[in-house]
Structures are given as C-alpha cells and as structure tokens.
Structure 1
C-alpha cells in the first residue's frame, strides 16, 4: 500500500529505465562500429597518382596473394563472381567496380576479372593502387 496521498507529488526520479536505454544504445553503437567492412588485406602495387574512385554503390573485387577472389569481403569463384555482378548490374546499370590485386599475383588473374567485367558491360572499372611514397 502506498503511504502517499493521491495528490502528493513524487520527490524522487527513477533513473533505472534511462540507464537501461543508455546501455542498450551503447551496445548497439559498439556493435555497429566494429561491424564496418574492413576488406581483405593485400599488398597493392605502387603508382605515382592515386585517383579517388569510391562511389556509394561501388563493388570491390579483391585478388589476394594466393589468387583467391573476393567480392567485397566474401570469397567467390569466377563463376560466382559473374552471377553476383550480373545481379548487381541489373539493379544498378552504371555499377562501378574496383579491382584490388595483390602485387605478387599473376597478371592473368586480374585480366580474367577485367574480361568478366567487360562481358557484363561494366564500363566504370578501376584498378586500386597505393600512392608512391618518394
């Protein structure tokens, strides 16, 4: 039974629900910031000028030192890459694609990916390099 009368105002504030909300928001913030795409680490070749190629719906095709192909950060075969890029191209007709090839891989792997993009009529194609440090 409450000892207060019906018209008597409260003299304390219960902050437990506010703290619960703050902790939930903190956990969501931590999860979202650590879930950002880091990409696959490759040793990029060096170039004297590195233009900015990033656009909002850009797809990154990465080829690591072992010749494994990744679409964004997911490992794929050449056939899977073709089907996925074909579906992205159907959604976004001017789909930009950047290719990040490790400097130690065979040139043939990069050409296979570039040829695949040509067959899919992907005209916005870029090769990612590191800026040459003098």
Structure 2
C-alpha cells in the first residue's frame, strides 16, 4: 500500500471571470452614483386653484467708466433710475438688480445706486468676473 505515491486531486477555482464581473459592477455603480443627485429632496407640493405664482425678475444696471447708466441696455440718467425701477417693481413682486460697474468707477457712485435699491427694498447683486 503505497499511500504517499497517490496523487490527490486538487480543486481549483478560476476567478478571472469573477474579477471582470466585479470590475464592471463597480464601474456601473460609480457611473450611476454620479448621475443621480442624492441631495435632492422630492416634495409633494400643495395645489392651488387660483394659479398665482410669485414672479422673480432680474434687471441689469450697468455703469460705465464715464458714469453713463444703462438699465436693461436702455440709457438712463441717475435721476430716472428710481422711476424706471418702480415700473419694473409693479410688473414683478420680487425684483433683483444685477449691478455691472466698471472697476474704475468711484465707490461713491456705486453707493448711490445701492441707496436707491435699499430705499425701494430691492435686492441688489454686484456682478464680478472670475479670475
């Protein structure tokens, strides 16, 4: 009885196909997770019969280096700005002014426009460029 000379069968498992499958599953979940946005909260909003909505409107106000004012690309004077903004305020409940000012304009001229917006209770945003 030669037991040492017997060769025992070895069980082998080839995992190369399983590695491919796991790689593709990982790739799928990575792509799927970037497409979906987990920060979004889905809400069931109430319905209304009147159908009124709050309108938000933005108005652009530009000031050039030689103190020429343009409200929505229409030339205006500093004295006309409150009257024009009142007309825009009647059209939209929430009005926002996006202020484009040349960097050479004195800060006092910008503060005058900010005072007009504060007196009229209008939001004002100063536009800037990215570096």
> TM range, normalised to the smaller chain?
0.5 to 0.7
1:69 is aligned to: 69
- Mind listing any 5+ residue stretches in structure 2 that lack a counterpart? 1-55
Task: Kindly state the Cα deviation for residue 78 of structure 1 after the two structures are TM-superposed.
Answer: 1.4
**Is 1:82 paired with 2:82?**
yes
Cα distance in 2 for partners of 1:99, 1:81 equals 13
Runs (4 or more) in structure 1 with deviation over 2 Å come to none
- The offset of 1:75, in angstroms, is 1.2
Question: Any gaps of 5 or more consecutive residues in structure 1?
Answer: 1-55
TM-score (norm: length of structure 2): 0.55
Deviation at 1:74, TM superposition (A): 1.1
* TM-score after normalising by structure 1: 0.54
Identify the residue that residue 129 of structure 2 maps to in structure 1. 130
3-state SS of 1:131 partner: coil
Taking the aligned partners of 1:113 and 1:67, their CA distance within structure 2 comes to 12
* Partner SS for 2:80: helix
Report how many residues are paired: 77
Q: Taking CA–CA contacts closer than 8 Å with sequence separation of 6 or more, which of the two structures ends up with the larger relative contact order?
A: 1
